Amino acid sequence: MGKRGVLFCGTALWVVAQAAAWGQEVVKVPMVDVIGVSPVPGTGISRDQMPSNVQGLDGDVLDRAKGATVSDLLERRLGSVSLSDTGGNSFQPSLSFRGFNASPVMGEPQGLAVYQNGMRVNESFGDLVHWEMIPTFAVNRADILPGANPVFGLNALGGAMVMDMKTGFSFQGTEMMAAGGSFGRYKAVAQHGAKAENFGFYGGIGHMGEEGWRQRSPSELSQMFGDVEFRGERFTGGLSLSFGNSDLTGNGPSPVELLHNSRSAIFTSPDTSQNRQISLSGRGNLELTDTLSLQGAAYFRNVRHRTLNGDANTAGACSFDATILCSDPNGADEAQLTDINGNTVPVSAKGSGIINRTETNTNSLGASLQLALDKPVWGLRNTLITGLSEDEGHTRYHSESEVGSLQGDRSIGGSGVILGTSTYWTDISAHNRTIGVYFSDTLSLTDRLTLTMAGRYNAAEVVLEDRFGTDLNGRHMYERFNPAAGLTYQLSPELTAFAGYGEANRAPTAAELSCADAAKPCRFPNAFLSDPSLRQVVSRSVETGLRGRSEAADKSWSHAWSLAGFGTQNQDDILFVASGQSTGTGYFRNAGRTLRTGLEASDRGRFGPMGWFVNYSLVRATMDNDVTLRSPNNPGADANGNIFVRRGSPLPGIPMHSLKMGGSYELTDAWLVEMDAAFYSSRRLRGDEAGLGRRLGGYEVFNAETEYKLADFASAFLRVDNLLDRRYESFGLYGSPTSVFSSFSDNQFRTPGAPRSFWAGLRARF
């Protein structure tokens, strides 16, 4: 397809610039499914004109979420979505879609752009997505637009997720829900929406937590969301306020030999994460004429992220002076430890453990403005959109390490001695700035054939300032134009064929650029040591498929299905490579090409009191060139700690096959029962890209739920997760357990999946 490939890809933008008239109610037209395909709210396109296999969660599914999070629902209901319990906390999973990640964990290769009411949710310092900060109860609709998508800016390598939040026009009334369950779980949610003439108001608050099923793993989370919207004859505008605060424990993977003794066992502690975010976002849509409209969005977001992590350590008495501590005593890298004042550390501090603390404080702000012209060209219906956007992030990152000692319960006790030198103390400022200029055009060549074209120019700047020394100082610039194009053809009123091509890019984040030197591996994500440059990641994707929808005139039944094939190649993909000095220590590097190819098939419908859904996905995520990677804890590594990864070798953490299915049945007008199940094939461990060791085994999880109406306004529900109490693991890596357990010889670490658990509660709506 040439260096740039076929011009433009798979994304069309059609502005729906229709404001409600004074005092009029919004009317929902049956079977017209409009997808938001721009970061600016108020712009969208009919699903039938999308040249890709768009998947989503509608309000009915989200309203029945009960104790589930947005990420849980995406995994249960949508194809090509899987979760990895990277950190060991159900509120903070790593989500993979078609082999591209949206994760709260630094070190995961990020590849999805996530938006909430036009606000970019990816944190600028590491492109992280903190899923627990998204209030599920306030999400009105969530869509995943697959494939390299230039319109959504940086990081949309595998697609973009767009969340439309509730307003007083989409939700009216008052609803309250209270639930409790296994392992000390509890959840309470209250929300209210109303509209009065041209104004709509919505507000919601939620609080939840649990003691956790693993040892020493309590978590607590609070969320709030509010929105006010005005709808006039020519202008629609809204303002949203969001707040979240979490205190989570994620004890991560444990050695497999320890898990054989106890599934709830943890390796070391403490391991906590505290997040607090507050954001304000605005949106507007002005109809300048009958054919020309102006849309805009702006946001400000502050996120503070703190971690406290206890690890085993190998410090001990120096070979040349038994009264002071050295790292790697008697080894090739032996060096005496000093505190923040430059004093040597006495052996009384012990050094068998270390407590790492980090704090990341980020202010993000951005704005987008676009014009939409809906006017025929040569007698053909055409919509042209041109826009520009700017996103900035200002981050202050600090980390420090305290000498500790390993206790009998494998927790780490502190000594009060804070270590100095850049290996253990980091203090940096990062400034990210991205400017984008884009356009899109949707041209109806015939009543059945639609051509969509889009393109975006991205210019990104990352500036690092080392506040402790000079090693991290740096200025990095990246730019690229990404094209896209697609076709849809309506074979019949119920059947549509589509095909598309697109490109996108991702600039290396400040966190990656600060830890990209093989000679100076980082205790990631606790310390950064140097600032060499990395190349930006460029993705190119193709997709083709069919979809169909039909519905009875009397609404007694409905049916929808889709079949799609896709492929995406990443150039200069960035991977985190373990150095082997300790678990979690390593560096980022460009590892060449990676390839994701696959197939998606889905079927869903409703017939009378019965509903169902089935989603099958085949995702083959592989290296697309030969490469040598460091993985010294892998038993199959060579004498230098390297593994040779051949082209076609599967990437870690991504199951090739997944199948999700579920059904619901209304036994009576008051009693509903539901069941869903997910099946996943095996996946490789991180650090085993060459496939030299055992895989994580495939597994299946069944869930069941029932809800009974106690009155017109109240109902009771019961949900059972992992009904068959299946033992499984969704994440694993290679590490070294011998620093804590000298009797353990297996270097595999795994995060165990949660056992059977129950949710029960009451819900009332007035």
Question: What is the per-residue pLDDT across 566-613, written as a single tens digit (0 to 9) for each?
Answer: 999 999 999 888 765 555 577 889 999 999 999 999 999 999 999 999
pLDDT of residue 739: 65
Residue 603 lies in a domain: yes
**Radius of gyration in angstroms for the set of CA atoms belonging to the chain, rounded to a whole number:** 26
Residue 28 lies in a domain: no
Q: Which residue has the higher pLDDT, 466 or 330?
A: 466
Report the C-alpha gap between 194 and 171 in whole angstroms.
7
Tell me what percent of the chain is helix, strand and coil, each rounded to the nearest 5: 5, 55, 40
Residue 732 lies in a domain: yes
DSSP 446-495: SSSEEEEEEEEEEEEEEEEEESS-STT-EEEEEEEEEEEEEEEEEEETTE
Token pair in block for residue 18? 């229709």
Residue 11 lies in a domain: no
pLDDT of residue 530: 53
Whether the CB-CB separation of 661 and 614 falls below 8 Å is answered with: yes
Residue 332 lies in a domain: no
How much is the average pLDDT of 437-455?
Answer: 94
Report the C-alpha gap between 119 and 41 in whole angstroms.
9
DSSP 3-state assignment of 68?
coil
Whether the CB-CB separation of 313 and 392 falls below 8 Å is answered with: no
pLDDT of residue 21: 29
Report the C-alpha gap between 481 and 738 in whole angstroms.
49
Tell me what the pLDDT averaged over the chain comes to.
89
| CATH number, position 575 | 2.40.170.20
Is the pLDDT at 487 greater than 90? The verdict is yes
How much is the average pLDDT of 244-250?
Answer: 94
- Count of Cβ atoms closer than 10 Å to residue 764 Cβ: 15
Report the C-alpha gap between 454 and 71 in whole angstroms.
29
Residue 5 lies in a domain: no
How much is the average pLDDT of 408-423?
Answer: 88
pLDDT of residue 465: 92
Whether the CB-CB separation of 388 and 364 falls below 8 Å is answered with: no
pLDDT of residue 9: 31
- Count of Cβ atoms closer than 10 Å to residue 477 Cβ: 11
Selection from 163, 277, 294, 194 nearest residue 237 by Cα: 294
Report the C-alpha gap between 756 and 84 in whole angstroms.
18
DSSP annotation of 324:
B
The phi, psi pair for 482, rounded to 5°, reads -115, 125
pTM: 0.91
Cross-strand pairs, 275:
246, 305
Is the pLDDT at 671 greater than 70? The verdict is yes
Range of the domain at 379: 34-313+351-765
pLDDT of residue 107: 73
pLDDT of residue 580: 52
DSSP 3-state assignment of 741?
coil
Cross-strand pairs, 461:
433, 477
Residue 13 lies in a domain: no
Is the pLDDT at 5 greater than 60? The verdict is no
Selection from 155, 97, 147, 165 nearest residue 128 by Cα: 155
pLDDT of residue 7: 29
Report the C-alpha gap between 53 and 56 in whole angstroms.
10
Single-letter residue type at 667: L
Lay out the sheet containing 522-523: strands in order across. 522-523, 585-590, 574-578
Q: Which residue pairs, CB below 8 angstroms and at least 24 apart, start in 73-76?
A: 73/136, 73/142, 74/142, 74/144, 75/660, 75/678, 76/660, 76/662, 76/676, 76/678, 76/703
What is the end-to-end Cα distance of the chain in Å, rounded? Answer: 57
Selection from 689, 568, 653 nearest residue 101 by Cα: 653
The answer to which of 7-16, 265-274, 483-492, 616-625 has the lowest mean pLDDT is 7-16
pLDDT of residue 37: 67
How much is the average pLDDT of 737-745?
Answer: 74
If one counts the domains in the chain, the total is 1
DSSP 368-426: EEEEEEE--BTTB-EEEEEEEEEEEEEEEEEEEEEEEEE-TTSBEEEEEEEB-STTTEE
DSSP annotation of 49:
G
Cis peptide before 737 (omega within 30 of 0): no
Chain centroid to CA 202: 26
How much is the average pLDDT of 386-415?
Answer: 92
pLDDT of residue 605: 95
Selection from 512, 330, 354, 331 nearest residue 425 by Cα: 354
Question: What is the per-residue pLDDT across 529-559, written as a single tens digit (0 to 9) for each?
Answer: 555 689 999 999 999 999 999 999 998 999 9
SS (H, E, C) 110-177: ECCEEEECCEECCCCCCCCCCHHHCCHHHEEEEEEEECCCHHHCCCCCCEEEEEEECCCCCCCEEEEE
pLDDT of residue 185: 95
Question: What is the per-residue pLDDT across 194-216, written as a single tens digit (0 to 9) for each?
Answer: 999 999 999 999 999 999 999 99
How much is the average pLDDT of 692-706?
Answer: 96
Write b or e for each residue in 59-93: b if 16 or more Cβ atoms lie within 10 A of its Cβ, otherwise e.
eebbbbbbbbbbbbbbbbbbbbbbbbbbbbbbbbb
Residues above pLDDT 90, as percent of the chain: 73
How much is the average pLDDT of 652-665?
Answer: 96
**Segment of 19-28, 179-188, 586-595 carrying the highest mean pLDDT:** 179-188
Is the pLDDT at 30 greater than 70? The verdict is no
pLDDT of residue 559: 96
Residue 205 lies in a domain: yes
Is the pLDDT at 454 greater than 60? The verdict is yes
Question: What is the per-residue pLDDT across 268-311, written as a single tens digit (0 to 9) for each?
Answer: 899 999 999 999 999 999 999 999 999 999 999 999 999 999 98
